[in-house]
Amino acid sequence: MNKLPHVAIVGATGAVGREMLVCLSERNFPLSKLTLLASARSAGKKLTFRDEELTIEELTADSFNGIDIALFSAGGGISEKFGPLAAEAGCIVIDNSSAFRMDPGVPLVVPEINPEAAANHPRNIIANPNCSTIITLMGLAPLHKAFGLTGIIASTYQAVSGSGAQGIAELESQIKALASGAPIEKKVYPHQIAHNVIPHVDAFQETGYTKEEQKMLHEGRKILNLPDLKVTCTCVRVPVMRSHSISLTAIFEKDPSVAEARATFSDRAGVKLVDDPASDLYPVPLDTTGQDDCLVGRIRKDQVLPNALALWVVGDQVKKGAALNAVQIAELL
């Protein structure tokens, strides 16, 4: 783009929308104007951006006239309805929902991994990957470049904020109820989440896998341009407020040593090695919350599969897993 863009955030009052606002400010994103869009019930409210109060406007079909880039974070239904309208108005849509991720005409982008994909957006839509996929691939991309990734066995440990504000509220209310002896209320999750883990994120499919688990397969193949990549995944909701963790076994064409694997993360943008178990140094969710970088540690040789490493990756799913990744895509434009 040859001029400072007029940017909009769709879903500005949600957790990811608010984080997009923070990322634009923190990164001093160059823009001529910022428009905040949300539902009718949020219209008229105000949010602060760079010491200026901005009034939220109601999202309508005519909201995108004159807007150059729209960051969408309002759910798949909103994206499906308003994304094409924005694109037709000449706006480039960066969508955080799953609505367009597997559309062959829509690039799926993690800027540190496949930035070139953002240059070709024939439908004026660019998709942001699933949060767990982004965090996982931030840890695997340096290893793939060096050793050739062929397969992934993953277990995710996903924070309740991945379910939105209601997930956080449910965990908090259940912790208080347990402390006071009050009845436990379950609205968001089918089982008590406080003091518990639930191996169920998103809807179950006929295969027995959930939609969330299949995203790792399909999105990983598209982002890495590896159509034959083998992936099996189990997604687990854990009683953590924010930041997702992923336990990985990664299989490669070459046989990497642990030292060689660790070396791939030196001077790598967006990911840091924290791997000194003897000093109790390894990634934990609290260390990534509110941070841009994903952390990688516990790298070791797998004891079952040849040419395989076991490792642990942690990242803030609201920030790098959603808002920051979208803003970085806008920076590429």
**What residues are labeled active site?**
131, 244
Report the run of H or E that residue 300 belongs to, with start and end. strand 294-301
Contact by Cβ (8 Å): 200, 210 = yes
- Phi (first) and psi of residue 330, to 5 degrees: -60, -35
Q: Burial code of 46-83, b = ≥16 C-beta within 10 A, e = fewer?
A: ebebeeeebebbebeeebbeebbbbbbbbbbebbeebb
Task: Give the whole-angstrom CA distance, residue 140 versus residue 146.
Answer: 10
| DSSP label of 156 | E
CA pair distance 329, 71, nearest whole angstrom? 10
| Nearest Cα to Cα of residue 53 among 61, 42, 45 | 45
Reduce the DSSP state of residue 155 to 3 states and report it.
strand
Residue 251 DSSP SS3: strand
Write the DSSP string, 55-86. Answer: E-EE--TTTTTT-SEEEE-S-HHHHHHHHHHH
- How far apart (Å, rounded) are the C-alpha atoms in residues 268 and 111? 12
Cα–Cα dist 33/7, whole Å: 6
Run of H or E residues at 237: strand 230-237
Q: Concatenate the DSSP letters of all residues of 84-145 into one string.
A: HHHHHTTPEEEE-SSSSTT-TTS-B--TTT-GGGGG--TTSEEEPPPHHHHHHHHHHHHHHH
Closest CA to 237 of 164, 155, 174, 160: 160
